[in-house]
Structure 1
Amino acid sequence: INYLKPFLSLNSFFFLRKTSLYQIFFLFIKKKKEKKMPRDPMRWESSELIGVLNFLLNNFEDWNSNHLNACIKAIEATNSKRDAKSIYNKVYSLIKAMEEFLTTGKKASTSNIIWEDTTIHDLVRRMYNKSKERKKQEEKNQQTRNRSSDGDTEMTDAIDVGQVIAESSTSRTKRRVSQMPFSTDVINALYDEKIRQIEQLRSKLTKTVEATNSEFLKLNAQVPYSIDVVKNTCDEKVKKIDQLRKELIETIELANSKYEKLKSFN
């Protein structure tokens, strides 16, 4: 037994050494995985996201000119606990998911909240449409500037009057053709107005019901009205308006799509 002790000690040494190396390697891999994991400790609630999207939609010029500055303003307006980068990443990912859906019909699984909440779906769709329209307008303006710099507007002393009139007419026709014939802005403005009317009605009815019920309670009488009835009625109106606006926007997008096909037809 005694002559085996050095070997046992040596084996034990190698075993412990291997074990230590294994533990170090395991800890290294674990730390590496932890670094790769995205850090988003707070789950986005629907009410929080609706508040941010509403602000950005109502201040779209700020969003269009500087995304991060607009997100900072959104934090101040909604009292969000997130930073500007987190808000920008979320809004940008939702807009890209909407773009993929409207282009291919595929619903991104990473943005389920769009498909689960109709209000968020409509707000993101409006953000996408506004961004798309603004991008088209900027591209058109850039093309106009490029044509001007290339000498398209250069005039000579020998231009025929008839040629000027013909070119002017052609230019006006091109401008009309380049614009989309139908816009969702009017529908969105009407939708916002109707939503404000419903919210005003909700507030007025709620106050009336609370005041009436309070008087009945003073008399120890049964409360005749329920605030839940007011809430359910107003929510149903909002749901119907959402559906109508959704159908109108889809109709307009379909019409614009056919218009683009007609315009590019050869």
Structure 2
Amino acid sequence: MINLTNYALNVKVDSPAFKREVYEKRLDLIDIALGWPGSATEGTMIFNNIWEYAQELSYKVSLGKYGKEFYESGQTGNNQKNCNDMRPSVLKDGVVIDSVRGGFDDIFRLMESCLSKPNSKDLLVAFATLFYRNALLIDHRIDNIDNKHYYIYEPPRQLLDLICSSISSYEGIPMEVYIHFLDAIGFNEDVKYFTQGKLQKKTGIGRENNMKTYTHDACCLLGHTSWADFIYKLIRSYGVSPISNQEMASFFPELGIECNERRRRVRSAASTPISITQIIDQYL
């Protein structure tokens, strides 16, 4: 059983001071990406590595500039291309692995796969903790080496080891590499919404919405909340279903999440957790 006190935040997550701290860290991280080189020629990219797999250095997680939205213009409701879009990628021996996917459906399947493991509860708790911490940039920092700033994501080693010992690989790559790939996707989301002028202190837009949606999915599978709530929010929130800070504080008190959000009734799930696929199948 995981001792969550080892990963406690012990912070008032909705306090103005903490929100400002997270917001400023987001901007500092984004500033690193804005300074990276890129190729404006469609079909070519300059890849900027943000992490390499210590156990097999041939694997690297990188962000290629520029992504597909760089070349798009005249879209409905968006008359300006996303001039900072990047392509989150996994490289092996310098070659992009095109088969790796990181959509919501891929993450949901990953979470569902935990149910077949003997330590399913610990796995889902570990994922929920990892994703929630990522949403708030708890495990991110900026290193300054030789007057150059580097983006660093360093999640708790024990959580990674627990997950990777049970799920060694996903999407054809080592599990730890995939976790860092998801972080790269979240990073690009922040850069995208910053470019569009939508990244604000009071919204969970970008990385935060993504990571909290992954967390919400894990909590449904744990039986902490209902799929009805998850799906309703998914529909109402334009394709995301972020878990609230209040819910996280209620489900995992050991994480030391303090918040003053308006209290809402948390609907518990059925006594036997089921997957979102099983829910959908009932209506097909």
What TM-score results when the alignment is normalised by the length of structure 2? 0.22
Structure number with higher relative contact order (C-alpha < 8 Å, ≥ 6 residues apart): 2
The structure that is strand-richer by fraction is 2
